[in-house]
Structure 1
């Protein structure tokens, strides 16, 4: 009888012991799961904060560039038109007054066009392909170098945050080519590679040694910006062989 009771006690204690271990295990797993959830929430909040900060910086940069462009237009274009209108109105000939009125109408149209660029509404009203075409045309019109655009894919309906980042990355890539590469030709191709949409920015300029680029370089910042929207930035260059940048758009 004692033997049976002992066995019962052993079974009871074993069950309680195993139950305690299981309870401890379950509580530990719940605790670890909650910790991981908290860490994941923290990571998500950090990524979201970095994303919003990146977009704000990009908006500020684009607005600053826009103001610089407007200042240039006011000085070089509208200022000259107003001076010409003044000369015409100062004439005693009636036909000159008519020419002056036509010039003033042109000035009004120019000012209206500039006013539309004071905010970022134009980002939503223009496709990325149209923006690229405008940028290349502007470079081509200066006579600095030849530009070519190939578009096998139409980039439409991109979210505003993606379009903002892509616009700024493309602007900076073109500015770097103009400032540092002294190319004879800059080409941009928009194409599809499998499921991916890509933008290739290529110049035949001086190129550079990519191993000399540091973490604080502009190219590193462009890569980080593409990362924030789930895209990719890849640069290939060599001294004397030009530079190629491939932007992979987020799917």
Structure 2
């Protein structure tokens, strides 16, 4: 019976130690879980901030390009119409007066069209397929090179932010091609493949070494932008064999 108190003390001590260990383990798990939540929240906040910065940057670039386009149109198109109107109205012939009125109406129509592009509301209204075709038509009209557009899509609904990013990427890719590639043909393809939207921009120009670090920043910007809206970018290029940029975007 003399050993019973010692056994009792041992059992009490063991129980207390086990309880303390379990409490410590539970506290550690709670602290770990809270830290994980904080890290996840910080990661989500960072992703949200990065997304917002990307969208704001894209909006600013499109607005700047729009203003540049409007300035050129005012100088080359509206300015030319108004100059022609002035010359026409200088002659008091009744037929010239009628022609002058027609030219003034045309100038008003052109100014109204340009004014709509001063904000980004046109992005909501424009269809991506129409935008691509218009951009390629501008290239052909300039006499720079031939273009081709292929698509298996008739109707395409995208979120405004997705459309914004895609429009800017398309503009940037086409501008880079015109600046550096010296192509004879630019091909753009927009295809729906299962659950993905595939946009391909391809040229038969000079190409470049994809390992060249000096080309990396522009490619990094394109990749980060498409990743912001949940897509990814693939690039294929060889010197003297052209360049192909493929964008894949999850699509329902």
Distance in 2 separating the partners of 1:247 and 1:154: 19
Task: Look up the match of 1:247.
Answer: 247
Please say which of residues 19-28 and 129-138 is displaced more in the overlay: 129-138
2:195 and 2:250 in contact (8 A); partners too:
no
The residue that corresponds to 1:75 in the other structure is 75
User: Paired residue for 2:219?
Assistant: 219
Q: Which residue of 2 aligns with 1:48?
A: 48
> CA–CA distance in 1 between the matches of 2:137 and 2:209?
29
TM-score of the pair, normalised by structure 2: 0.96
**How big is each residue's C-alpha offset from its partner over 1:46-89, in whole Å with a ceiling of 9 and x where there is no partner?**
11111101111110100000000000000000001001111111
| RMSD after superposition | 1.3
Runs ≥4 residues deviating over 6 A: none
- How far apart, in 1, do the equivalents of 2:88 and 2:30 lie? 83
Size of the aligned set, in residue pairs, is 251
Could you say what secondary structure the match of 2:47 adopts? helix
* Secondary structure in structure 1 of the residue aligned to 2:144: coil
Q: 1:216 to 1:235 in 2, by over 3 A?
A: closer
Deviation at 1:193, TM superposition (A): 3.1
Greater Cα shift, 131-140 or 2-11 = 2-11
Contact 2:85 2:104 in 1 (8 A): yes
CA distance in 2 between partners of 1:15 and 1:153 (Å) = 70
Corresponding position of 2:28: 28
Aligned twin of 1:170: 170
For structure 2, the residue ranges without an aligned partner over 5 or more in a row are none
Equivalent position SS for 2:201: strand
Q: The residue matched to 1:217 in structure 2 has which SS?
A: helix
Aligned match of 1:207: 207
1:250 offset after TM fit, Å?
3.1
Contact 1:229–1:250 under 8 Å retained in 2: no
**Aligned equivalents of 1:78, 1:103: Cα separation in 2:** 10
Corresponding residue of 1:152: 152
How far 1:214 sits from its partner (Å)?
4.3
Which residue of 2 is the match for residue 132 of structure 1?
A: 132
Q: Which is further off, 190-199 or 234-243? A: 190-199
Deviation at 1:155, TM superposition (A): 5.9
Deviations 1:13-61 (A, max 9, x none): 1111011000000001100111111111111111111110111111010
